[in-house]
Structure 1
Protein backbone atom coordinates (compact mmCIF):
# COMPACT_ATOMS: atom_id res chain seq x y z
CA UNK A 1 0.00 0.00 0.00
CA UNK A 2 1.10 3.57 -0.56
CA UNK A 3 1.62 5.87 2.37
CA UNK A 4 -0.28 9.14 2.46
CA UNK A 5 1.08 11.74 4.85
CA UNK A 6 -1.61 12.74 7.35
CA UNK A 7 -2.84 16.28 6.91
CA UNK A 8 -0.91 16.85 3.70
CA UNK A 9 -3.28 16.35 0.77
CA UNK A 10 -5.27 18.72 -1.37
CA UNK A 11 -8.75 17.47 -2.27
CA UNK A 12 -10.37 18.63 -5.50
CA UNK A 13 -14.18 18.65 -5.55
CA UNK A 14 -15.65 18.57 -9.05
CA UNK A 15 -18.75 20.77 -8.80
CA UNK A 16 -19.38 21.83 -12.37
CA UNK A 17 -22.95 21.82 -13.67
CA UNK A 18 -24.51 21.27 -17.08
CA UNK A 19 -25.10 24.99 -17.53
CA UNK A 20 -28.04 27.25 -16.68
CA UNK A 21 -30.53 24.57 -17.66
CA UNK A 22 -29.06 21.77 -15.57
CA UNK A 23 -32.04 19.40 -15.18
CA UNK A 24 -31.27 18.53 -11.55
CA UNK A 25 -30.90 22.16 -10.48
CA UNK A 26 -34.13 22.99 -12.28
CA UNK A 27 -35.96 20.04 -10.72
CA UNK A 28 -35.13 21.22 -7.20
CA UNK A 29 -35.34 24.98 -7.83
CA UNK A 30 -31.76 25.83 -6.94
CA UNK A 31 -29.31 27.97 -8.96
CA UNK A 32 -26.70 25.21 -9.12
CA UNK A 33 -26.77 21.42 -8.86
CA UNK A 34 -24.20 21.44 -6.04
CA UNK A 35 -26.69 23.35 -3.88
CA UNK A 36 -29.43 20.71 -4.05
CA UNK A 37 -30.44 20.12 -0.42
CA UNK A 38 -30.11 16.56 0.83
CA UNK A 39 -31.95 16.19 4.12
CA UNK A 40 -31.83 19.98 4.34
CA UNK A 41 -28.09 20.38 3.72
CA UNK A 42 -26.61 21.37 0.33
CA UNK A 43 -24.73 18.46 -1.23
CA UNK A 44 -21.57 20.50 -1.63
CA UNK A 45 -21.56 21.38 2.05
CA UNK A 46 -21.88 17.70 2.98
CA UNK A 47 -18.87 16.82 0.82
CA UNK A 48 -16.77 19.67 2.22
CA UNK A 49 -17.60 18.63 5.78
CA UNK A 50 -16.59 15.01 5.10
CA UNK A 51 -13.29 16.03 3.53
CA UNK A 52 -12.53 18.54 6.29
CA UNK A 53 -13.04 15.78 8.86
CA UNK A 54 -10.58 13.49 7.05
CA UNK A 55 -7.15 13.65 8.76
CA UNK A 56 -5.20 13.17 5.53
CA UNK A 57 -6.78 16.22 3.87
CA UNK A 58 -5.15 19.63 4.39
CA UNK A 59 -6.96 21.79 1.84
CA UNK A 60 -10.13 21.63 -0.22
CA UNK A 61 -10.49 23.13 -3.70
CA UNK A 62 -13.97 23.36 -5.20
CA UNK A 63 -13.85 23.33 -9.00
CA UNK A 64 -16.93 25.21 -10.11
CA UNK A 65 -17.93 27.64 -12.86
CA UNK A 66 -19.48 30.03 -10.32
CA UNK A 67 -16.99 30.52 -7.45
CA UNK A 68 -19.25 33.08 -5.77
CA UNK A 69 -21.66 30.26 -4.91
CA UNK A 70 -19.04 28.72 -2.65
CA UNK A 71 -17.85 31.98 -1.15
CA UNK A 72 -21.30 32.90 0.18
CA UNK A 73 -22.48 29.40 1.10
CA UNK A 74 -24.08 29.53 4.57
CA UNK A 75 -22.42 27.11 6.95
CA UNK A 76 -19.19 26.89 4.95
CA UNK A 77 -16.90 27.89 7.81
CA UNK A 78 -18.41 25.34 10.18
CA UNK A 79 -18.22 22.58 7.56
CA UNK A 80 -14.59 23.39 6.73
CA UNK A 81 -13.65 23.14 10.42
CA UNK A 82 -10.62 25.41 10.07
CA UNK A 83 -9.27 23.91 6.84
CA UNK A 84 -8.93 26.26 3.86
CA UNK A 85 -11.52 26.01 1.10
CA UNK A 86 -10.48 27.56 -2.21
CA UNK A 87 -12.18 27.68 -5.60
CA UNK A 88 -10.93 26.97 -9.10
CA UNK A 89 -12.79 27.88 -12.26
CA UNK A 90 -14.31 24.82 -13.92
CA UNK A 91 -13.68 24.07 -17.57
CA UNK A 92 -16.21 22.60 -19.98
CA UNK A 93 -16.22 19.08 -18.51
CA UNK A 94 -14.89 17.13 -15.51
CA UNK A 95 -11.85 15.87 -17.41
CA UNK A 96 -11.00 19.31 -18.77
CA UNK A 97 -11.33 20.74 -15.27
CA UNK A 98 -8.97 18.13 -13.84
CA UNK A 99 -6.41 18.73 -16.61
CA UNK A 100 -6.52 22.47 -15.88
CA UNK A 101 -6.28 21.95 -12.11
CA UNK A 102 -3.27 19.67 -12.47
CA UNK A 103 -1.40 22.58 -13.98
CA UNK A 104 -1.87 24.55 -10.76
CA UNK A 105 -2.05 22.02 -7.95
CA UNK A 106 0.82 19.55 -7.57
CA UNK A 107 0.25 15.87 -6.96
CA UNK A 108 -0.66 13.98 -4.87
CA UNK A 109 -4.31 14.95 -5.14
CA UNK A 110 -7.57 13.36 -4.06
CA UNK A 111 -10.49 13.98 -6.42
CA UNK A 112 -14.19 13.52 -5.68
CA UNK A 113 -17.48 15.11 -6.74
CA UNK A 114 -19.94 17.56 -5.23
CA UNK A 115 -22.83 15.11 -5.66
CA UNK A 116 -21.17 12.48 -3.44
CA UNK A 117 -23.66 13.44 -0.74
CA UNK A 118 -23.11 10.40 1.51
CA UNK A 119 -19.31 10.76 1.59
CA UNK A 120 -17.74 9.84 4.93
CA UNK A 121 -14.23 10.56 6.29
CA UNK A 122 -13.71 6.84 6.97
CA UNK A 123 -14.26 6.06 3.29
CA UNK A 124 -11.69 8.63 2.21
CA UNK A 125 -9.13 7.38 4.73
CA UNK A 126 -9.72 3.78 3.69
CA UNK A 127 -9.34 4.68 0.03
CA UNK A 128 -6.11 6.59 0.58
CA UNK A 129 -4.58 3.91 2.81
CA UNK A 130 -5.30 1.14 0.29
CA UNK A 131 -3.89 2.74 -2.88
CA UNK A 132 -1.52 0.10 -4.30
CA UNK A 133 2.14 0.95 -3.88
CA UNK A 134 3.85 2.45 -6.90
CA UNK A 135 0.67 3.65 -8.60
CA UNK A 136 0.58 6.93 -10.47
CA UNK A 137 -3.20 7.02 -10.08
CA UNK A 138 -5.97 4.95 -8.54
CA UNK A 139 -9.74 4.84 -8.46
CA UNK A 140 -12.26 3.39 -6.06
CA UNK A 141 -14.71 0.70 -7.12
CA UNK A 142 -17.34 -1.25 -5.18
CA UNK A 143 -18.40 -4.79 -6.02
CA UNK A 144 -22.01 -5.33 -6.98
CA UNK A 145 -22.56 -7.83 -4.16
CA UNK A 146 -21.39 -5.25 -1.62
CA UNK A 147 -23.70 -2.57 -3.01
CA UNK A 148 -26.73 -4.80 -3.51
CA UNK A 149 -26.45 -6.37 -0.05
CA UNK A 150 -27.45 -3.00 1.45
CA UNK A 151 -29.43 -1.55 -1.46
CA UNK A 152 -30.97 -4.46 -3.38
CA UNK A 153 -33.27 -2.23 -5.44
CA UNK A 154 -30.68 0.35 -6.47
CA UNK A 155 -29.90 0.86 -10.13
CA UNK A 156 -26.22 1.33 -10.84
CA UNK A 157 -24.09 1.30 -13.96
CA UNK A 158 -22.06 -1.87 -13.58
CA UNK A 159 -18.67 -2.49 -15.16
CA UNK A 160 -18.62 -6.25 -15.73
CA UNK A 161 -15.35 -8.15 -15.70
CA UNK A 162 -14.22 -11.73 -15.03
CA UNK A 163 -13.57 -10.82 -11.39
CA UNK A 164 -17.11 -9.46 -10.97
CA UNK A 165 -19.29 -6.42 -11.56
CA UNK A 166 -18.24 -3.05 -10.16
CA UNK A 167 -19.63 0.43 -9.69
CA UNK A 168 -17.54 3.59 -9.52
CA UNK A 169 -17.26 5.40 -6.19
CA UNK A 170 -16.29 8.92 -7.35
CA UNK A 171 -12.95 8.67 -5.58
CA UNK A 172 -9.72 9.19 -7.52
CA UNK A 173 -6.12 9.56 -6.39
CA UNK A 174 -3.54 11.23 -8.59
CA UNK A 175 -0.27 10.26 -6.93
CA UNK A 176 2.39 11.51 -9.33
CA UNK A 177 2.75 13.97 -12.23
CA UNK A 178 2.44 11.01 -14.62
CA UNK A 179 -1.27 10.96 -13.78
CA UNK A 180 -1.58 13.92 -16.15
CA UNK A 181 -1.50 11.41 -19.01
CA UNK A 182 -4.47 9.57 -17.53
CA UNK A 183 -6.37 12.84 -17.26
CA UNK A 184 -5.71 13.43 -20.95
CA UNK A 185 -7.00 9.94 -21.74
CA UNK A 186 -10.05 10.72 -19.60
CA UNK A 187 -10.83 13.54 -22.04
CA UNK A 188 -11.07 11.02 -24.87
CA UNK A 189 -13.27 8.67 -22.87
CA UNK A 190 -15.52 11.53 -21.81
CA UNK A 191 -15.99 12.67 -25.39
CA UNK A 192 -17.26 9.18 -26.23
CA UNK A 193 -19.48 8.70 -23.16
CA UNK A 194 -22.63 8.39 -25.30
CA UNK A 195 -20.94 5.99 -27.73
CA UNK A 196 -20.06 2.88 -25.68
CA UNK A 197 -18.84 0.87 -28.65
CA UNK A 198 -16.45 3.66 -29.66
CA UNK A 199 -15.34 3.90 -26.03
CA UNK A 200 -14.50 0.21 -25.97
CA UNK A 201 -12.52 0.61 -29.18
CA UNK A 202 -10.11 2.85 -27.30
CA UNK A 203 -8.86 -0.25 -25.52
CA UNK A 204 -8.28 -2.01 -28.83
CA UNK A 205 -10.32 -4.64 -30.71
CA UNK A 206 -9.23 -7.66 -28.66
CA UNK A 207 -9.95 -5.94 -25.35
CA UNK A 208 -13.33 -4.70 -26.56
CA UNK A 209 -14.28 -8.17 -27.78
CA UNK A 210 -13.25 -9.83 -24.53
CA UNK A 211 -15.28 -7.28 -22.55
CA UNK A 212 -18.39 -7.86 -24.69
CA UNK A 213 -17.98 -11.62 -24.25
CA UNK A 214 -17.48 -11.30 -20.49
CA UNK A 215 -13.89 -12.52 -20.69
CA UNK A 216 -11.95 -9.36 -19.86
CA UNK A 217 -10.25 -9.17 -16.48
CA UNK A 218 -10.39 -5.88 -14.60
CA UNK A 219 -6.65 -6.08 -14.00
CA UNK A 220 -6.06 -6.37 -17.75
CA UNK A 221 -8.31 -3.41 -18.52
CA UNK A 222 -6.54 -1.23 -15.95
CA UNK A 223 -3.13 -2.26 -17.27
CA UNK A 224 -4.27 -1.44 -20.80
CA UNK A 225 -5.45 2.02 -19.77
CA UNK A 226 -2.02 2.61 -18.28
CA UNK A 227 -0.39 1.57 -21.56
CA UNK A 228 -2.63 3.97 -23.49
CA UNK A 229 -1.59 6.72 -21.08
CA UNK A 230 2.08 6.35 -21.93
CA UNK A 231 3.02 3.70 -19.43
CA UNK A 232 1.25 5.23 -16.46
CA UNK A 233 0.62 2.75 -13.65
CA UNK A 234 -3.01 2.76 -12.57
CA UNK A 235 -4.54 0.88 -9.67
CA UNK A 236 -7.86 -0.07 -8.11
CA UNK A 237 -9.06 0.24 -4.53
CA UNK A 238 -12.01 -2.01 -3.74
CA UNK A 239 -14.31 -0.12 -1.42
CA UNK A 240 -16.17 -2.21 1.19
CA UNK A 241 -18.76 0.54 1.68
CA UNK A 242 -21.96 0.06 -0.31
CA UNK A 243 -23.00 3.69 -0.06
CA UNK A 244 -19.72 4.86 -1.57
CA UNK A 245 -21.19 3.87 -4.96
CA UNK A 246 -24.12 6.30 -4.63
CA UNK A 247 -24.11 9.82 -6.00
CA UNK A 248 -26.99 12.21 -6.68
CA UNK A 249 -27.31 12.36 -10.44
CA UNK A 250 -31.08 12.06 -10.76
CA UNK A 251 -34.14 12.61 -8.54
CA UNK A 252 -34.35 8.92 -7.63
CA UNK A 253 -30.78 9.12 -6.28
CA UNK A 254 -31.74 12.00 -3.99
CA UNK A 255 -34.69 10.00 -2.66
CA UNK A 256 -32.43 7.01 -2.01
CA UNK A 257 -29.82 9.10 -0.20
CA UNK A 258 -32.41 10.73 2.02
CA UNK A 259 -33.95 7.34 2.87
CA UNK A 260 -30.52 6.05 3.87
CA UNK A 261 -29.84 9.11 6.01
CA UNK A 262 -33.25 8.76 7.69
CA UNK A 263 -32.43 5.15 8.51
CA UNK A 264 -29.23 6.26 10.24
CA UNK A 265 -31.02 8.57 12.69
CA UNK A 266 -33.78 6.19 13.75
Structure 2
Protein backbone atom coordinates (compact mmCIF):
# COMPACT_ATOMS: atom_id res chain seq x y z
CA UNK A 1 0.00 0.00 0.00
CA UNK A 2 1.34 3.42 -0.96
CA UNK A 3 0.52 5.04 2.38
CA UNK A 4 3.79 6.84 2.90
CA UNK A 5 5.24 10.19 1.90
CA UNK A 6 8.99 10.53 1.58
CA UNK A 7 11.52 13.31 1.21
CA UNK A 8 14.91 13.03 -0.48
CA UNK A 9 17.34 15.70 0.66
CA UNK A 10 19.51 16.79 -2.26
CA UNK A 11 20.59 20.28 -1.29
CA UNK A 12 24.06 21.75 -1.60
CA UNK A 13 26.35 22.99 1.14
CA UNK A 14 27.73 25.73 -1.06
CA UNK A 15 31.02 25.75 -2.93
CA UNK A 16 32.51 22.84 -4.81
CA UNK A 17 31.43 19.30 -3.95
CA UNK A 18 34.50 17.02 -4.06
CA UNK A 19 32.35 13.95 -4.80
CA UNK A 20 30.57 15.58 -7.74
CA UNK A 21 33.88 16.92 -9.04
CA UNK A 22 35.45 13.48 -8.69
CA UNK A 23 32.60 11.90 -10.68
CA UNK A 24 32.46 14.69 -13.25
CA UNK A 25 28.81 15.67 -12.65
CA UNK A 26 27.02 18.83 -11.57
CA UNK A 27 25.73 17.30 -8.32
CA UNK A 28 26.44 13.99 -6.60
CA UNK A 29 22.76 13.03 -6.87
CA UNK A 30 23.43 12.70 -10.61
CA UNK A 31 26.28 10.20 -10.28
CA UNK A 32 25.43 7.00 -12.14
CA UNK A 33 25.69 3.59 -10.54
CA UNK A 34 24.56 0.49 -12.42
CA UNK A 35 23.12 2.71 -15.14
CA UNK A 36 20.95 4.82 -12.81
CA UNK A 37 21.60 8.07 -11.01
CA UNK A 38 21.86 7.95 -7.24
CA UNK A 39 18.67 10.02 -7.14
CA UNK A 40 16.84 7.43 -9.26
CA UNK A 41 18.13 4.57 -7.12
CA UNK A 42 16.93 6.20 -3.90
CA UNK A 43 13.55 7.07 -5.41
CA UNK A 44 13.07 3.50 -6.65
CA UNK A 45 13.86 2.06 -3.21
CA UNK A 46 11.34 4.41 -1.63
CA UNK A 47 8.65 3.50 -4.13
CA UNK A 48 9.29 -0.21 -3.64
CA UNK A 49 8.98 0.33 0.12
CA UNK A 50 5.50 1.82 -0.29
CA UNK A 51 6.08 5.55 -0.73
CA UNK A 52 3.28 6.88 -2.89
CA UNK A 53 4.40 10.51 -2.79
CA UNK A 54 8.07 11.43 -3.04
CA UNK A 55 9.58 14.91 -3.06
CA UNK A 56 13.13 16.07 -3.65
CA UNK A 57 14.50 19.10 -1.82
CA UNK A 58 17.16 20.66 -4.03
CA UNK A 59 18.70 23.88 -5.26
CA UNK A 60 20.56 22.64 -8.33
CA UNK A 61 18.56 23.04 -11.58
CA UNK A 62 20.02 19.83 -13.02
CA UNK A 63 18.80 17.86 -10.01
CA UNK A 64 15.36 19.46 -10.27
CA UNK A 65 15.16 18.49 -13.94
CA UNK A 66 16.21 14.92 -13.16
CA UNK A 67 13.65 14.70 -10.36
CA UNK A 68 10.84 15.91 -12.58
CA UNK A 69 11.82 13.36 -15.22
CA UNK A 70 11.42 10.66 -12.56
CA UNK A 71 7.94 11.92 -11.68
CA UNK A 72 9.02 13.31 -8.32
CA UNK A 73 7.86 16.53 -6.70
CA UNK A 74 10.48 19.26 -6.48
CA UNK A 75 10.78 21.50 -3.45
CA UNK A 76 13.29 24.35 -3.18
CA UNK A 77 15.98 23.59 -0.61
CA UNK A 78 15.79 25.83 2.43
CA UNK A 79 18.70 27.21 4.44
CA UNK A 80 19.89 23.97 5.97
CA UNK A 81 18.41 20.47 6.04
CA UNK A 82 16.24 21.04 9.12
CA UNK A 83 14.29 23.86 7.45
CA UNK A 84 14.04 21.79 4.26
CA UNK A 85 12.50 18.96 6.28
CA UNK A 86 10.07 21.34 7.97
CA UNK A 87 8.96 22.80 4.63
CA UNK A 88 8.51 19.32 3.19
CA UNK A 89 6.48 18.17 6.20
CA UNK A 90 4.15 21.12 5.81
CA UNK A 91 3.72 20.23 2.12
CA UNK A 92 3.60 16.42 2.28
CA UNK A 93 2.09 15.79 5.69
CA UNK A 94 2.70 12.84 8.01
CA UNK A 95 3.98 10.25 8.47
CA UNK A 96 7.09 11.31 6.59
CA UNK A 97 10.20 9.30 5.82
CA UNK A 98 13.35 11.33 5.19
CA UNK A 99 16.55 10.20 3.51
CA UNK A 100 19.32 11.64 1.32
CA UNK A 101 20.11 11.50 -2.38
CA UNK A 102 23.54 10.02 -1.70
CA UNK A 103 22.11 6.93 0.03
CA UNK A 104 23.37 4.95 -2.95
CA UNK A 105 22.72 1.42 -1.65
CA UNK A 106 19.32 2.05 -0.06
CA UNK A 107 17.09 -1.04 -0.19
CA UNK A 108 13.31 -1.30 0.33
CA UNK A 109 13.78 -4.13 2.83
CA UNK A 110 15.85 -1.82 5.05
CA UNK A 111 12.98 0.65 5.06
CA UNK A 112 10.43 -2.09 5.73
CA UNK A 113 12.46 -3.36 8.70
CA UNK A 114 12.84 0.20 10.01
CA UNK A 115 9.09 0.76 9.88
CA UNK A 116 8.34 -2.61 11.44
CA UNK A 117 10.67 -1.93 14.37
CA UNK A 118 9.36 1.57 15.16
CA UNK A 119 8.03 1.87 18.73
CA UNK A 120 4.28 2.34 18.80
CA UNK A 121 4.35 5.70 20.62
CA UNK A 122 7.26 7.38 18.82
CA UNK A 123 7.13 10.90 17.37
CA UNK A 124 10.50 10.84 15.63
CA UNK A 125 13.03 8.09 15.01
CA UNK A 126 16.40 7.55 13.36
CA UNK A 127 17.88 4.34 12.06
CA UNK A 128 21.42 3.53 13.23
CA UNK A 129 23.84 0.64 12.81
CA UNK A 130 26.43 -0.76 15.17
CA UNK A 131 30.04 -0.59 14.07
CA UNK A 132 30.37 -4.38 14.01
CA UNK A 133 27.58 -4.71 11.43
CA UNK A 134 28.93 -1.85 9.32
CA UNK A 135 32.46 -3.20 9.16
CA UNK A 136 31.27 -6.75 8.52
CA UNK A 137 29.23 -5.55 5.54
CA UNK A 138 31.81 -3.09 4.20
CA UNK A 139 35.30 -4.00 5.44
CA UNK A 140 37.68 -1.06 5.47
CA UNK A 141 35.00 1.62 5.22
CA UNK A 142 35.71 4.84 7.08
CA UNK A 143 32.56 6.03 8.86
CA UNK A 144 31.94 8.46 11.69
CA UNK A 145 30.86 6.64 14.84
CA UNK A 146 29.17 7.89 17.97
CA UNK A 147 31.03 6.23 20.83
CA UNK A 148 28.65 5.37 23.66
CA UNK A 149 28.84 3.08 26.66
CA UNK A 150 26.83 0.40 24.83
CA UNK A 151 28.88 0.46 21.64
CA UNK A 152 29.80 2.55 18.63
CA UNK A 153 27.00 3.63 16.32
CA UNK A 154 26.77 5.11 12.83
CA UNK A 155 23.82 7.03 11.43
CA UNK A 156 21.99 5.58 8.43
CA UNK A 157 20.42 8.72 6.89
CA UNK A 158 16.91 7.39 7.44
CA UNK A 159 14.48 9.30 9.66
CA UNK A 160 10.82 8.92 10.59
CA UNK A 161 8.46 11.76 11.47
CA UNK A 162 5.22 10.30 12.76
CA UNK A 163 3.09 13.40 13.23
CA UNK A 164 3.21 17.16 13.64
CA UNK A 165 4.67 16.63 17.11
CA UNK A 166 7.89 15.59 15.34
CA UNK A 167 8.42 19.20 14.30
CA UNK A 168 9.66 19.83 17.83
CA UNK A 169 12.67 17.68 16.98
CA UNK A 170 13.14 19.57 13.71
CA UNK A 171 13.14 22.87 15.60
CA UNK A 172 15.72 21.57 18.05
CA UNK A 173 17.80 20.27 15.12
CA UNK A 174 17.71 23.78 13.67
CA UNK A 175 19.05 25.20 16.93
CA UNK A 176 21.91 22.69 16.88
CA UNK A 177 22.68 23.60 13.25
CA UNK A 178 22.81 27.28 14.14
CA UNK A 179 25.33 26.63 16.93
CA UNK A 180 27.42 23.91 15.25
CA UNK A 181 30.51 26.17 15.18
CA UNK A 182 30.06 27.37 18.77
CA UNK A 183 30.97 24.57 21.22
CA UNK A 184 30.02 26.65 24.27
CA UNK A 185 26.53 27.37 22.92
CA UNK A 186 26.18 23.73 21.82
CA UNK A 187 27.03 22.59 25.33
CA UNK A 188 24.43 24.97 26.69
CA UNK A 189 21.75 23.49 24.44
CA UNK A 190 22.55 19.89 25.32
CA UNK A 191 23.18 20.51 28.99
CA UNK A 192 26.34 19.78 30.99
CA UNK A 193 25.06 16.49 32.40
CA UNK A 194 24.70 14.68 29.11
CA UNK A 195 28.04 16.03 27.84
CA UNK A 196 29.93 15.01 30.97
CA UNK A 197 28.45 11.51 30.86
CA UNK A 198 29.40 11.23 27.19
CA UNK A 199 32.98 12.39 27.81
CA UNK A 200 33.28 9.98 30.73
CA UNK A 201 32.09 7.07 28.57
CA UNK A 202 29.00 6.53 30.73
CA UNK A 203 26.30 7.62 28.28
CA UNK A 204 24.32 4.84 26.61
CA UNK A 205 22.12 5.15 23.52
CA UNK A 206 18.84 4.77 25.42
CA UNK A 207 19.66 7.55 27.86
CA UNK A 208 21.05 9.80 25.11
CA UNK A 209 17.92 9.49 23.00
CA UNK A 210 15.64 9.95 26.00
CA UNK A 211 17.44 13.17 26.96
CA UNK A 212 17.42 14.55 23.43
CA UNK A 213 13.72 13.78 23.20
CA UNK A 214 13.12 15.68 26.45
CA UNK A 215 15.01 18.69 25.12
CA UNK A 216 13.01 18.64 21.87
CA UNK A 217 9.71 17.85 23.65
CA UNK A 218 9.13 14.72 21.57
CA UNK A 219 9.10 10.97 22.03
CA UNK A 220 12.28 9.99 20.22
CA UNK A 221 13.79 6.62 19.41
CA UNK A 222 16.77 5.07 17.70
CA UNK A 223 15.96 1.95 15.69
CA UNK A 224 18.97 -0.36 15.36
CA UNK A 225 19.33 -2.06 11.99
CA UNK A 226 21.06 -5.35 11.18
CA UNK A 227 21.92 -4.02 7.73
CA UNK A 228 25.43 -2.62 8.02
CA UNK A 229 25.43 -1.24 4.47
CA UNK A 230 22.63 1.12 5.49
CA UNK A 231 25.32 3.30 7.09
CA UNK A 232 27.19 3.75 3.81
CA UNK A 233 26.45 6.98 1.95
CA UNK A 234 28.48 8.82 -0.66
CA UNK A 235 29.93 11.70 1.30
CA UNK A 236 33.47 11.66 -0.10
CA UNK A 237 35.29 10.23 -3.15
CA UNK A 238 36.42 7.16 -1.18
CA UNK A 239 32.75 6.38 -0.47
CA UNK A 240 31.98 6.42 -4.18
CA UNK A 241 34.87 4.04 -4.83
CA UNK A 242 33.49 1.77 -2.10
CA UNK A 243 29.93 1.60 -3.44
CA UNK A 244 31.26 0.99 -6.94
CA UNK A 245 33.24 -1.96 -5.59
CA UNK A 246 30.24 -3.24 -3.69
CA UNK A 247 28.09 -3.32 -6.82
CA UNK A 248 30.90 -4.70 -8.95
CA UNK A 249 31.67 -1.60 -11.01
CA UNK A 250 35.28 -1.16 -9.88
Q: By the TM > 0.5 criterion, same fold? A: yes
Q: Which residue of 2 aligns with 1:36?
A: 31
Cα distance change, pair 236–160 in 1 and its aligned pair in 2 (3 A): same
1:115-130 to 2 correspondence within 5 Å? Answer: 115-130=102-117
**Range with bigger deviation, 152-161 or 173-182:** 152-161
Looking at structure 2, the residues matched to 166 and 72 of structure 1 have their Cα atoms a distance apart, in angstroms, of: 33
Where structure 2 has 5 or more consecutive residues not aligned to the other structure, the ranges are: none
Shift of 1:43: 1.0
CA contact (8 A) 1:17 1:33 kept: no
1:218-237 to 2 correspondence within 5 Å? Answer: 218-230=205-217, 232-237=218-223
CA contact (8 A) 1:61 1:88 kept: yes
1:181-196 to 2 correspondence within 5 Å? Answer: 181-194=168-181
Q: Which residue of 2 aligns with 1:257?
A: 243
Looking at structure 2, the residues matched to 20 and 205 of structure 1 have their Cα atoms a distance apart, in angstroms, of: 35
Q: Which residue of 1 aligns with 2:201?
A: 214
Looking at structure 1, the residues matched to 61 and 78 of structure 2 have their Cα atoms a distance apart, in angstroms, of: 12
1:59 partnered with 2:85: no
Looking at structure 2, the residues matched to 123 and 233 of structure 1 have their Cα atoms a distance apart, in angstroms, of: 22
1:64-114 alpha-carbon deviations (Å, 9 max, x no partner): 11356343469x54xxxxxx5211111121112112222222111000000
Q: Which residue of 2 aligns with 1:81?
A: none
Looking at structure 2, the residues matched to 43 and 240 of structure 1 have their Cα atoms a distance apart, in angstroms, of: 23
TM-score by length of 2: 0.92
Where structure 1 has 5 or more consecutive residues not aligned to the other structure, the ranges are: 1-5, 78-83
1:208-264 alpha-carbon deviations (Å, 9 max, x no partner): 01101110011111111111112x10011101101000000000000011111118x
Looking at structure 1, the residues matched to 63 and 192 of structure 2 have their Cα atoms a distance apart, in angstroms, of: 45
Q: Which residue of 2 aligns with 1:3?
A: none
Looking at structure 2, the residues matched to 9 and 214 of structure 1 have their Cα atoms a distance apart, in angstroms, of: 38
Q: Which residue of 1 aligns with 2:119?
A: 132
CA contact (8 A) 2:56 2:67 kept: no
Q: CA RMSD in A?
A: 2.1
Aligned residues: 250
**Range with bigger deviation, 244-253 or 158-167:** 158-167
1:17 partnered with 2:3: no
Q: Which residue of 1 aligns with 2:65?
A: 71
Partner SS state of residue 219, structure 1: helix
CA contact (8 A) 1:159 1:165 kept: yes
